Amino acid sequence: METPLSPRESGQFIAERSRDVFVEDGGVEKVAEMLYSLRHSDDLTASGWKKANPLAPAATSDQGSLSALKATQKALNWVFVADTMNFSFWPEKETQQCEVTYKGTAYTGYMTLCAAVTRAMDEGIPITDPKYFSQMSVEELGHVLRSDNETPMPMLQERHQVLTEGGHVLLEHGGSFWSFISQAGNDARKMVELIVEKIPSYRDEAMYEGKRISLYKRAQILVADFWGIMEARGQGDIINMDWLTMFADYRVPQALVHLGALRYSETLMEALKKGELLCSGDRREVEIRGCSVWSVELIKQRLYKLVQERDGETCSVTSAVIDFYLWPYAKLHHKEMAHIPIHHTRCVYY
């Protein structure tokens, strides 16, 4: 089988051939200007990542103690568990959202997963221990991911399959996510390649116009989350972070359309408004995700140019950090963009 194009190469390849999704220069400029105004804020840093997910475990910067080391390993295993099951949270009906309440706050979407995993830890369930989650039953996982209303979390069987699969891989490579990912050194690109090679559920690839493309949403976000934890420890000196693209899901494309950086054809918009389910690998699904990747690359390029021209400085904001801003932006402004449909694809990739 041919080696797929990298996510960035895939994004450009798709955007140059797309029939139903289009990158809009005016919107790219607008988003770059918006990010330029935030260039000195925490929104475009690793702390912005933590702010976007308050349930993610904190990693202490006290590097010397054994307890701090164990806390970091536990935090990284939490990230692995959450990211391995980080897919397909959209409800069949908007009024039927799966919901998990944690410490008085009701969470929906991806945050239900984070709340459920953290709740399990509080209950003494060793959900971040690969020895446990590699062997847990579907019923045990169902208990961990139980909803606080009548709507269950979708795809329980698939989540169980990918989590136990991932647990076995960690056990084969030192017994923790840290020991596993350390094989790639401090290189973000090698980390993604290692994850995709060893763990099948992260192999987010498709065929488009005769080429094998890759988007690797979950593999890339797993590496970015690893960086976020290590950055909090003062050990975020990972090379090739700029190799990562944005994480092509169903929420950020909606934000990009809302901001004018992407445009859908009338036929695609109509299909989405009717609730048509797009299969993973469907041409239109690939175009939505690929053009999202490429639009963020162009936004980043424009942002770099603005910083250079206006401030005489070099900008180091990565595509991953831009995604860390756009995803909570989409959640925050969901009412304003409710008229823009998200695409619906049930799969393990996002």
Q: Which residues are catalytic?
A: 249
Phi-psi region of 307 (alpha: psi -120 to 50; beta: other; left: phi over 0): alpha
Q: Which residue has the tokens 């698939």?
A: 158
* Structure-token match 């004018």, residue found: 260
- State the DSSP code for 58: P
What is the C-alpha to C-alpha distance for residues 175 and 43, in angstroms, rounded to an integer? 34
How far is 254 from 332, CA to CA, in rounded Å? 12
What count of residues does the chain have? 350
The phi and psi torsions of 245 (rounded to 5 degrees) equal: -105, -175
Q: Which residues contact 149 (CB under 8 A, 6 or more apart)?
A: 97, 98, 99
Distance CA(22)–CA(48), nearest Å, equals: 29
Q: Which two tokens stand for residue 158?
A: 């698939």
Report the DSSP pairing between strands 211-214 and 105-107.
Answer: unpaired
Task: Please answer whether residues 307 and 40 qualify as being in contact, where contact means their C-beta atoms are separated by less than 8 angstroms.
Answer: no
CB atoms closer than 10 angstroms to residue 102: 18
Q: What single string gives the DSSP state of each residue in 251-282?
A: SHHHHHHHTTSEEE-HHHHHHHHTTPBPPTT-
As beta bridge partners, residue 205 has: 214
